[in-house]
Amino acid sequence: MGKPPNLYAFQSTDELAPSLRAYVLDAQNTAIDRHNVFRVGLSGGSLPKVLAKALLEQTNGDGKVHFDKWEIFFADERAVPLDHEDSNYRLVKEEIVDKIPAGQGKPTVYPIDVKYLDDVQEMADQYEQTLVSVFAARDSVKLPMFDLLLLGCGPDGHTCSLFPGSPLLREVDAWVLPISDSPKPPPKRITLSLPVASHGIKIGFVATGGGKKDIMKQIFDTEEGRQLPCGLINTFAQDRVSWFVDYPAIEGVSFPARRGSL
Ligand SMILES: O=C1O[C@H](COP(=O)(O)O)[C@@H](O)[C@H](O)[C@H]1O
């Protein structure tokens, strides 16, 4: 039995943002020291807005975001054009990339190849090749290891586009998987596989709002919850996982949370 994940709880997203910033900057600085680049995998959904607050609104004089060293990948993506309202790329671009002040440098962003919107298997294979060219060609690794994965948690316990009960959760070889019948629209997506999503050097979940409290209770306090996609990442990655939540999201959760700043 290893060490449990870290659960950090804050009164509000305004209070959560400075600690999320400190956590991201720590991962960034370690990565830049190690290989002069920061490779981060991002979820869509509610995450980019909170991350924007952490990176762009909180400055606090406590370290610099070196956006020019960032390589941004998508933990999951919907098979839609890049300017579509459902696109995770669009969300990250509009919430974060477009708002980076001039002079701070811009990240390198790796979107899906929209040539394959009608063929999610091909899209997943192509995105996997992108990861191979960035991670494995340099290091010849079995699994790509992101410096940081920042993930969301859906109200059903899904993360990336790995949904509860999906046969995709049993995948052990592929790095990126296609979905053509997602229970949450839009149906066609690609997602990092569970082994890759569990393999980050650091894995940060952000879950806020009372709409998440039932699933948080399941994930942290019950055996069935530990079998949900978010629970499986907790089990596999243990204390490499840190959750950043607000008080409404953990109302009624028994698992011990550390309250206040990191
Ligand atoms: O469909 C998705 O949902 C999850 C969770 O979204 P949230 O709005 O509840 O935070 C998200 O992490 C994922 O990237 C997205 O494609």
Domain ranges of the chain: 6-253
Q: Residue 137 has what pLDDT?
A: 58
147-157 average pLDDT score: 98
Of the pLDDT bands very low, low, confident and very high (cuts 50, 70, 90), residue 140 is low
Residue nearest to atom 8 of ligand 1 (CA): 45
Residue list, ligand 1 pocket, CB within 6 Å: 43-47, 76, 88, 152, 154, 161, 184
For the question of an ipTM over 0.90, the answer is: yes
CA distance readout (Å), 131 to 140, 233, 234: 11, 20, 23
Q: Residue 60 has what pLDDT?
A: 64
Tens-digit pLDDT profile for residues 197-249 = 999 999 999 999 999 999 999 999 999 999 999 999 999 999 999 999 999 99
∠ Cα 235 239 242 (to 5°): 100
Q: Residue 168 has what pLDDT?
A: 98
Burial class (CB in 10 A: 0-12, 13-18, 19+), 247: middle
Q: How many residues does the chain have?
A: 262
Residue nearest to atom 11 of ligand 1 (CA): 45
Tens-digit pLDDT profile for residues 83-107 = 999 999 999 999 999 999 999 899 9
Tens-digit pLDDT profile for residues 4-57 = 999 999 999 999 999 999 999 999 999 999 999 999 999 999 999 999 999 999
Residue 251 pLDDT > 80, yes or no? yes
Closest ligand 1 atom to Cα of 184:
1
The CATH fold assigned to 6-253 is Rossmann fold (3.40.50)
Residue 256 pLDDT > 90, yes or no? yes
Residue nearest to atom 6 of ligand 1 (CA): 45
Sequence-ordered list of residues with C-beta below 8 angstroms from that of 46, at least 6 positions apart, any chain: 152, 206, 208, 209
Residue 3 pLDDT > 80, yes or no? yes
Residue 138 pLDDT > 60, yes or no? no
Q: Residue 61 has what pLDDT?
A: 60
Q: Residue 1 has what pLDDT?
A: 56
Q: What pTM was computed for the model? A: 0.96
Of the pLDDT bands very low, low, confident and very high (cuts 50, 70, 90), residue 136 is confident
